[in-house]
Amino acid sequence: MEKKILHILETVKDPEIPVLSLVDLGVITEVNVQDNTVLVKMTPTFVGCPAMDYMKAEVENALKINGYQPQVEITFEKPWSSDLISEKGKAALKKYGLAPPPDSKLFTDLEILETATCPRCNQNNTELKSPFGPTLCRALYYCHTCKEAFEQFKPV
């Protein structure tokens, strides 16, 4: 039953990164099914992320379309971390041309921003250009090997 729900939730993508489902993003923290009612708990990624209301509405829609009664709750109970992005999600990010976030437990805050692997050549010959990319959750880098800029999903 829950697998079926997760399958439905996998069709809901991050509005900023259309290749990444909310399940792979790690924002779905709990799913409870009772008869036809599905309780979904979501945790916000970046504080003040304007996409959260949109994601909530999309989750509700996806469940309704499949005949369920959604109850979506946004809660900070389990704080989100970029480490919650699944391996599948990280692979999708990379394919999309966005460097996946490095494991936040391995670096200090300062080091982590300076650590980026180019999604094109897989090398670390990179330089942080701006900690603020086109959206809050991305930082801008330059790869000296490819001589091209790329974005990294910020580790949190």
Residues that bind Zn ion (CB under 5 A): 118, 120-121, 143, 145-146
State the minimum distance, in angstroms, from the CB of residue 83 to Zn ion: 24
Nearer to Zn ion, 130 or 145 (CB): 145
Residue (22 or 118) nearer to Zn ion, CB: 118
20 or 143: CB nearest Zn ion: 143
Q: How far apart are CA 42 and CA 29, in angstroms?
A: 6
To Zn ion, the closest distance from the beta carbon of 101 in angstroms equals 17
Residue nearest to Zn ion (CB): 118
Phi, psi of 20, deg, nearest 5: -105, 120
Shortest reach from residue 62's CB to Zn ion, in Å: 36
Return the number of the residue (78 or 95) whose C-beta is nearest Zn ion. Answer: 95
Cα–Cα distance, 154 to 156 (Å, whole number): 6
101 CB neighbour count, 10 Å cutoff: 23
CB of 123 vs Zn ion, minimal distance in Å: 6
Rounded distance, CA 118 to CA 123, Å? 6
> What interhelical angle do 51-65 and 2-9 show, nearest 10?
130
